[in-house]
Amino acid sequence: MLNFEFTLPTKFLFGRGTESLAGQELKAVGGTRALIHYGGGSAVRSGLLDRVTKSLDEAGVEYVLLGGAVPNPRDSKVYEGIALVRKEKCDCILAVGGGSAIDSAKAIAHGSVYDGDFWDLWSGKAPVTKTLPLGCVLTLSATGSESSNSSVIMQEKTKLKRGLNTPLNRPLFAIMNPELTFTLPPYQVACGATDIMAHIMERYFTNEKEVAVTDHLCEALLKTVIQFAPIAYKDPTNYDAQAQLMWTGTLAHNNTCGVGREGDWASHQIEHELSAMYDVAHGAGLAVVFPAWMRYNLDHDVNRFAQFAVNVYGVEMNFDNPRETALRGIERHEAFLKSIGMPLTFKELGAKTEDIPAMAKNVKRGPDGKTGQFVKLDTKEIEEIFRIADR
Ligand code: NZQ
Ligand code: ZN
């Protein structure tokens, strides 16, 4: 196991009615005037925004509203938010929504106290050294942004979708009421479940040895998604299923199950090109990319893929042919994704063969020019993964 440091500043308020605590929690982190940032309108239609603003009124916290964070959130909305925070002299931010609203809010929080173009922070030109206090009210179990150290923003003019990791991305509090997910379309529930699984699997496929504790945590979380996602997909108003998914989504990406090991993350970097190019849901893009990535990299560590097959999907171990066991695991994973309505191919996603070279070229690289850690991929190899999915 690798050495690690792990600090999690996020306070979680989980369960029915917890959105009524938003005001008092903002006050507790020193907020007096908040920017409330939300998405395209689901929070308005469900009445959630009214309940949240009432809670701020009761706590004596003033606010201004900024809707319009879209899936695959854009830099233009971040610039708008930064200008509004400065004009209105807001001293804290409350995100209400899914990963897109939360990520956009994180960018506004950093950008409004940065003396320069906020994109400097996302492009790696400057580090994040300060931010505004930020909390969130989560409405979709998926990205883990409610306590992750990440935020992913798309620069419209270049169509580059870039993630920024910094401890300052972790919200100070996360309000998590599973009832708030009841209005989700089943497709979004499935996209969320796929993203949750991907966050665990990015960590699971590691070259690090002696990581039993985090392996076992990963396997338990994956099995929880496999058990409860089909229930929530069929009936998004099933509280118990949504509650399991919600907490699993948080544990999947706040690094509880990633400490002491190196994750891969190539599938995420590759997927970001799909969602930037076609504006598809991140989870749907992952359903297409991850199984292709697994097939391409199977022989890098057959035993790890076989362990996944046996411990996550209950495949019987073929000791004479572990590769066969490993392949069964990938097939089971594909079948699971299909059973919850996810696309598995370029065609089902609406992606095009002719875009493969451009997308492969744009994938974010490390300093060595490669993507991924479990297996380091160059442009040609990324193209090959896209081509496995292009069937
Ligand atoms: O905008 P509204 O009207 O709210 O509609 C949203 C949106 O259309 C809707 N929705 C959300 N909650 C709802 C609801 N509809 C009805 N009832 C509710 N309770 O769902 C749609 C998708 O929302 P979005 O926030 O885009 O989804 P998600 O949470 O999956 O976020 C995706 C974004 O997060 C990034 C992705 O790349 C993508 O840009 N990621 C962020 C990460 C992080 N910060 O740690 C990690 C992830 O790997 C990911 O890259
Ligand atoms: Zn993700």
Q: Which bound ligand lies closest to the C-alpha atom of 195?
A: 2
Instruction: Report whether residue 221 contacts ligand 1, using a CB cutoff of 6 Å.
Output: no
Q: Which bound ligand lies closest to the C-alpha atom of 187?
A: 1
Instruction: Report whether residue 194 contacts ligand 1, using a CB cutoff of 6 Å.
Output: no
Q: What is the mean pLDDT of residues 117-139?
A: 98
Nearest to 63 by CA among 72, 73, 71, 52: 52
Instruction: Report whether residue 253 contacts ligand 1, using a CB cutoff of 6 Å.
Output: yes
Distance in angstroms (rounded) separating the CA atoms of residues 276 and 288? 15
Mutate to test the pocket of ligand 1, among 154, 282, 289 (most ligand atoms within 8 A of CB): 282
Which residue, judged by its Cα, is nearest atom 20 of ligand 1? 188
- Residue 136's pLDDT band, with cuts at 50, 70 and 90, is very high
pLDDT of residue 391: 85
CATH 3.30.1540.10 given to domain 186-389: no
Exposure of 209 in the CB half-sphere (CA atoms within 13 A): 2
Mutate to test the pocket of ligand 1, among 19, 100, 169 (most ligand atoms within 8 A of CB): 100
Residue found by looking up tokens 């689901």 in the block: 42
Instruction: Report whether residue 177 contacts ligand 1, using a CB cutoff of 6 Å.
Output: no
User: What's the CATH number for 11-180?
Assistant: 3.40.50.1970
Q: What are the distances in angstroms from CA 42 to CA 20, 70, 101? A: 18, 11, 11
Instruction: Report whether residue 139 contacts ligand 1, using a CB cutoff of 6 Å.
Output: yes
54 CA distance to ligand 2 centroid (A)?
32
Instruction: Report whether residue 145 contacts ligand 1, using a CB cutoff of 6 Å.
Output: yes
* pLDDT tens per residue across span 290-344: 999 999 999 999 999 999 999 999 999 999 999 999 999 999 999 999 999 999 9
Nearest to 278 by CA among 126, 71, 125: 71
Q: Which bound ligand lies closest to the C-alpha atom of 152?
A: 1
Mean pLDDT for all residues in the chain: 97
70 CA distance to ligand 1 centroid (A)?
8
160 CA distance to ligand 1 centroid (A)?
18
- Residue 191's pLDDT band, with cuts at 50, 70 and 90, is very high
Instruction: Report whether residue 150 contacts ligand 1, using a CB cutoff of 6 Å.
Output: yes
Instruction: Report whether residue 180 contacts ligand 1, using a CB cutoff of 6 Å.
Output: yes
Q: Which bound ligand lies closest to the C-alpha atom of 101?
A: 1
* pLDDT tens per residue across span 277-289: 999 999 999 999 9
Q: What is the mean pLDDT of residues 24-34?
A: 98
143, two tokens: 């990205």
- Compute how many other C-beta atoms are within 10 angstroms of the C-beta atom of residue 87: 9
* pLDDT tens per residue across span 192-205: 999 999 999 999 99
Q: What are the distances in angstroms from CA 325 to CA 212, 297, 335, 338, 375? A: 20, 15, 15, 20, 20
282 CA distance to ligand 2 centroid (A)?
7
Instruction: Report whether residue 263 contacts ligand 1, using a CB cutoff of 6 Å.
Output: no
Distance in angstroms (rounded) separating the CA atoms of residues 344 and 355? 17
Instruction: Report whether residue 148 contacts ligand 1, using a CB cutoff of 6 Å.
Output: yes
pLDDT of residue 269: 96
327 CA distance to ligand 1 centroid (A)?
31
E-assigned strands of the chain? 11-14, 33-38, 62-66, 92-97, 134-138, 150-155, 160-165, 173-176
278 CA distance to ligand 1 centroid (A)?
16
Domains of the chain, by residue range, sit at 11-180, 186-389
- Residue 206's pLDDT band, with cuts at 50, 70 and 90, is very high
370, two tokens: 């490669």
* pLDDT tens per residue across span 67-116: 999 999 999 999 999 999 999 999 999 999 999 999 999 999 999 999 99
